[in-house]
Structure 1
Amino acid sequence: MNRRPGLSARLKLTVSYAGFLLLAGTLLLAVMWIFVLRWVPTINDPPREAEGDAVIITGPDRAQLMSGFIPATAAALAFLLVFGLLGGWILAGRMLAPLTRIADAARLASDGSLSHRIRMEGPRDEFRELADGFDTMLEQLESHVAEQQRFAANASHELRTPLAISKALLDVARTDPDHDVGELVDRLRAVNARAIDLTEALLLLSRADQRSFDREHVDLSLMAEEATETLLPLAEKHGVTVETRGDAAPTVGSPSLLLQLTTNLVHNAIVHNLSERGTVWVGTGVRPGTAVLTVENTGERLTPELVSTLTEPFRRGTERVRTDHAGVGLGLAIAQSITRAHGGTLGLAPRPDGGIRVTVALPARGVRHPRHS
């Protein structure tokens, strides 16, 4: 917005300080003036004599006092005005110095530099609170921008792979007319399906990040049962047993997104399991103010360092990925985004005997959770 220039905050504070000081001095002089007018005798008043002695108390009359008081008053007010302007300018500068540092940091951030921090010293006051809040915002922005840059680079790489494969297959078909058309079509269909799955996953992740969904009453236990029934054929194909247990876990959110969250977790638990006789445990329950969904599976032993990175987009953990149903590397990233969009937390922990335990904690129904924009 284009706005006309105005007085600076420092100049406004300076004028305010000087005006207040001048007003206070004027009131003080007015009180003194009233006192003088009341108690100093006029020129027509007869002199008074002290009792017992013939000492006459004459003193100055009002006219003489006024002739000397008015110039002195004007000089005092002029001094107060100059002193108030100079002192006010210095005091306003000291008071506004923290705001100047914050403004400089905001200017650097607007130019694209998010690594700058104010780190204001001194006792905790309003300016310190503002500076600390601004530092926290810059830190979150820097982290978010870095995460988005990594995500864009990874997404570009993942989308380029099926396109490159499709181009290679078409080049082979063009240069080799005798190539098996049926095999070519099957491979192109598989590559195209993978590209579609990746695109749909990216759209779902974007939808969850934007929090653009309606909220309804949802029972996580019903979501767990539906996801388990849907993925039961896949579990039987991999020789994995799925066990569902737990109580009702009412919460508020998007039924479709929470079903996608549960499906992703159960799907990951099935495909990233033992080669035979694997097990998946799906449980729900309620803690004080929290609805909880847990998904555990058997599998290879994982280090805490590896587990802590599995929610990053396109992070698959190659040592535990099967060649079939490996997914597009966004399952846990989508699950975490959906959880955050519902005001909850998603925790991952390796199991001592192998495999992983995923815990989703969402605000229980009736418990207000923070809304994000």
Structure 2
Amino acid sequence: MARPAGMSVRLKLTLSYAGVIMLAGTLLLAVVWVFLLRYVPETIFTAPPGTRPRMGMMVIPDRSDLLRAFVPKAAAMLVFLLTFSLLGGWVLAGSMLAPLTRITNATRLAANGSLSHRIQLEGRRDEFRELADAFDAMLARLEAHDAEQQRFAANASHELRTPLAITQTLLDVARNDVNRDTGELVDRLHLVNSRAIDLTEALLLLSRANQRSFTREHVDLSLTAEEATETLLPLAEKHGVTVETSGEMTPTTGSRALLLQMTTNLVHNAIVHNLREHGTVHVDTAIRAGSAVLTVENTGEKLSPQLVSTLTEPFRRGTDRVRGDHAGVGLGLAIVKSIAKAHDGTLTLTPQAGGLRVTVELPAAPPQTNRRRSTELQRDHQ
């Protein structure tokens, strides 16, 4: 939006300083003038009019004499105050606005795409220092977010290109070899296409969670945990994993579909990345210190803290944990982290002596809502 140019802030401050000084000087001279008028009579009768004063005759000045003596000096003083206030105000305003100039320059650099620049304002903490520090922190977050988005775009492009390249190769082979079994080709194309669809849906879900474009409602995490474990029970039986669910009613607020997806991803990962035989998965829900807590813990190989710290990054599957089937698209824990963050919660991954414990903490629902929701849930169970 184009706006007409106006006076600079420095000029406005200069005029403000000069105005205050001139007003103070004028008031001071006015007070002095009133004070002098109290002791100077309006007229003095020391000699007849037209008589020149003689030796020994006392002459007392009247108000006209005071006016002739005071006004020129007062005017000269006001001119001096005006000049001094304008020059001093201009210098003082420039000194006061110097940090703002640095912040403005940093803003222009950021607007042009340079996020590595920092203001790093020196001096003691004041309003400008707090503004500069807040701006530096914002630039650091933007730089980290931009780098993360660039990595994500590169990884997503690579992941999406892989099934397309495989499909192209299979089609080229089928075209060159007309005697090839079409049933096997169709099965492989179906598998590759399913993987591409899963990846696309995961990307859409991740984008939806990051944008927080969902309607909040009251959700009981204990019910979502039960639903997720019941859905994945056939997969657990296939892998020989025992799934245990426990905990109390854990109400929170958010999107039921996203929270169910979050819980399903956690349970799915816990089943797939487990011991090859006699593995266990324990899902627990509880209210702790005003937070709704969901914990999913599984058995498995010992994981290094360095590997665990990278598992929530998109397309970081953790090659030491990947099994041949159901390896996923590398977005499971990234989606969980985004959903938890969109619900103002936190995700914590803790390596165990064998396996991994994943803890999600979300804000619990208000007490009145808890009681009303509890009654509804009890009615549903009945």
Deviation at 1:127, TM superposition (A): 1.0
2:3 maps to 3
> In the aligned structure 2, how far is the partner of 1:264 from the partner of 1:178?
42
Aligned residues: 359
Distance in 2 (CA, whole Å) between partners of 1:219 and 1:329 is 27
Deviation at 1:34, TM superposition (A): 1.6
What percentage of aligned pairs have identical amino acids? 72
Matches within 5 A, 1:23-34: 23-34=23-34
Corresponding position of 1:19: 19
The normalised TM-score by structure 2 is: 0.92
Matching residue's letter, 2:336: A
Distance in 2 of aligned mates of 1:86 and 1:44: 44
Q: Distance in 2 between matches of 1:152 and 1:176?
A: 36
Q: CA offset at residue 288 of structure 1?
A: 1.4
Q: What's the CA shift for 1:99?
A: 0.8
Structure 1 position 61, deviation (Å) = 2.3
Cα distance in 1 between the residues matched to 2:144 and 2:242: 40
Q: How does 1:133-148 map to 2 (within 5 A)?
A: 133-148=134-149
| Secondary structure at 1:100 match in 2 | helix
Report how far residue 118 of structure 1 moved: 1.1
Alignment partners' CA distance in 2, 1:359 and 1:119? 37
| Deviations, residues 57-90 of structure 1 (Å, cap 9, x unaligned) | 6442222221121111111010000000011011
Q: Secondary structure at the match of 1:322?
A: coil
Q: Which residue of 1 aligns with 2:245?
A: 244
Q: Hey, what does 1:185 align to over in structure 2?
A: 186
Q: Within 5 Å, which residues of 2 pair with 1:183-222?
A: 183-222=184-223
Cα offset, 1:97, TM superposition: 1.1
Measured at CA, do residues 71 and 180 of structure 1 come closer, stay the same or move farther in structure 2, by a change above 3 Å?
same
Q: Is 1:362 aligned to 2:367, yes or no?
A: no
In structure 1, what is the Cα distance between the partners aligned to 2:15 and 2:238? 81
Alignment-derived partner of residue 231 in structure 2: 230
Aligned partners of 2:45, 2:286: CA distance in 1, in Å?
A: 99
Instruction: Tell me what 1:41 maps to.
Output: 41
Q: What amino acid does structure 2 have at the position aligned with 1:3?
A: R
Return the offset for 1:124: 1.5
Secondary structure of 2:38's aligned partner = helix
- The letter of the residue matching 2:5 is P
Cα RMSD for the two superposed structures: 1.3
SS in 1 for 2:316: coil
Cα drift, residue 24 of structure 1 = 0.8
Name the TM-score, length of structure 1 as normaliser: 0.94
Match of 1:370 in 2: none
1:42-57 to structure 2, matched below 5 A, reads 42-45=42-45
Counterpart check, 1:103 vs 2:104: yes
Unaligned runs of 5+ in 1: 48-54, 368-373
Structure 2 Cα separation of the partners of residues 224 and 209 of structure 1:
22
Alignment of 1:121-160 (within 5 A): 121-160=122-161
Structure 1 residue 56: deviation in Å? Answer: 7.5
The alpha carbon displacement at 1:42 in A equals 3.1
User: Which one-letter code corresponds to 1:184 in the other structure?
Assistant: L
Please give the alpha-carbon distance, in whole angstroms, between the structure 1 residues aligned to 2:185 and 2:57. 131
Q: CA deviation at 1:156?
A: 0.2
1:66 alignment counterpart: 67
What is the distance in 1 between the residues matched to 2:27 and 2:320?
84
Q: 2:44 and 2:102 mapped to 1: Cα distance?
A: 66
Looking at structure 1, the residues matched to 197 and 185 of structure 2 have their Cα atoms a distance apart, in angstroms, of 18
Letter in 1 for 2:62: D
2-structure distance, mates of 1:91, 1:264: 61
Distance 1:298 1:45, change over 3 A: farther
Distance in 1 between residues matched to 2:86 and 2:155, nearest whole Å: 60
SS at match of 1:348: strand
1: CA distance between counterparts of 2:37 and 2:59? 16
Deviation at 1:44, TM superposition (A): 2.8
2:146, 2:292 → 1: CA distance? 31
Query: Cα distance, 1:46 vs. partner?
Result: 5.0
2:224·2:260 contact (CA, 8 Å) conserved in 1?
Answer: yes
Whole-angstrom distance in 1 between the partners of 2:200 and 2:58: 105
Secondary structure of the 2:34 match is: helix
List, as ranges, runs of 4+ consecutive aligned residues in structure 1 with deviation greater than 3 Å.
55-59
> Distance between the aligned counterparts of 1:59 and 1:94, measured in 2?
51
| Runs (5+) with no aligned partner, structure 2 | 48-55, 368-382
Give the whole-Å Cα distance in 2 for the aligned partners of 1:159 and 1:132: 40
Partner of 2:77: 76
Show the 5 A alignment for 1:254-293. 254-293=255-294
